[in-house]
Chains A and B, each alone.
Chain A
Amino acid sequence: MAYNTDTHAVAVAHGHATFMGIDNRKMAFWAFIGSECLLFGSLISTYLVYKGRSLTGPYPHEILNIPFTSFSTFDLLMSSLAMVLALAAIQRGDMKQGKLWLLITALLGLVFLGGQFWEFSHFVHEGLGLTTNLFGSTFYVLTGTHGAHVTVGVIWLLTLWIQAMRGKLGPGNALTVEITGLYWHFVDVVWIVIFTVVYLIQ
């Protein structure tokens, strides 16, 4: 029984290799990202289907701020760069750089969230609420769901950073950081699509 408990503890800490030689945690996370594709696919589809069908304003071209959103896009792209640099540093055992890039990634995520909060506040002030028109409903649900994902990502990144600062994250946990990175980059690619479909193609 003691042997089984120890084996289980080791398995939880290091994951299992599947029969294909792939780590089970990474495989499960890619499957999760696949399911997220369907979630965001349905939200983006809903936005597109109701695009231009609002009977009352404000309309997209009246309130969307392209220069501001371009900055948010740049911010999120740079956070993805910071994330891969964090992973690369941790994989080579450079924890000082790893901690720095993890913190920068989280801070860039917070900047994005601050921008989204400002944008939503501005839109509400301009008269666009969740139930104002079809544009408001589909816009807030789509970008709000994305913002919720960014929030989860920032909390995840800060948790890793705190673990790293306490010396509990090292090169042996590189896969944990890689999985966090997969989530963060997915949030980035979803924004790449939203920026084009919602903001640029009006």
Chain B
Amino acid sequence: MSEQAHATTGTYLRVAAILVMITLIEVGVFYVPAFQSAVVPVLLVLSAVKFALVVMFYMHLKFDNRFFTFLFGGPLILALAVAISLMFIFYGAIHLRSGT
């Protein structure tokens, strides 16, 4: 894909509108007691959608050379793996100590 084939101004404005709407939903989910049981997965999914929209459209990764996706996605996956591993190690150790 050409490095110059970027989105149009209309696309940028639509993405901004979606980002604002998702942020409002996130804040709504935080405050509405009915959502409290599923607040963590819902907020993580909404955050991931916002993250992906900015990276794909504003950082042009959707339109740019796929090598950039590798340069960004590789360390991102590694960072996620480190975060998840640390959570497992730390909370696993706590559960072992407490015998639960």
Please report A residues at the B interface, Cβ cutoff 8 Å: 20-23, 26-27, 30-31, 33-35, 37-38, 40-42, 44-45, 48-49, 66-67, 70, 73-74, 77-78, 80-81, 83-85, 88, 91, 178, 181-182, 185-186, 188-189, 192-193, 195-197, 200-201
Within the complex, the shortest CB–CB distance from A78 to chain B, in Å, comes to 7
Known interface pairs A22-B65, A80-B16, A192-B50; 7 further A-B residue pairs with C-beta atoms within 8 A, sorted by A's residue number: A34-B76, A37-B76, A66-B27, A81-B12, A81-B13, A196-B26, A200-B29
Beta-carbon contacts of B52-85 to A below 8 Å, as 1s and 0s? Answer: 0011011110000101100110111011101100
Please report B residues at the A interface, Cβ cutoff 8 Å: 3, 6, 9, 12-13, 15-16, 19-20, 23, 26-27, 29-31, 39-40, 43-44, 46-47, 50-51, 54-55, 57-60, 65, 67-68, 71-72, 74-76, 78-80, 82-83, 86-87, 90
Task: Evaluate contact between B59 and A186: CB separation under 8 angstroms.
Answer: yes
Per DSSP, chain A at the interface is helix
Q: A66-B27, A77-B19, A201-B40 are in contact. Are A188 and B76 (CB under 8 A)?
A: no
Task: Evaluate contact between A37 and B75: CB separation under 8 angstroms.
Answer: yes
Question: How far is B21's CA from A74's CA once the two chains are assembled, in angstroms?
Answer: 10
Top 8 closest A-B pairs, CB basis? Answer: A41-B79, A34-B75, A196-B47, A30-B71, A45-B83, A81-B16, A37-B75, A30-B68
22 A–B contacts from the bound complex (CB under 8 Å): A22-B3, A22-B67, A23-B3, A38-B78, A41-B80, A42-B79, A42-B82, A49-B86, A77-B19, A77-B23, A80-B54, A81-B16, A88-B6, A181-B59, A182-B59, A185-B54, A189-B55, A192-B47, A195-B26, A196-B44, A200-B26, A201-B39
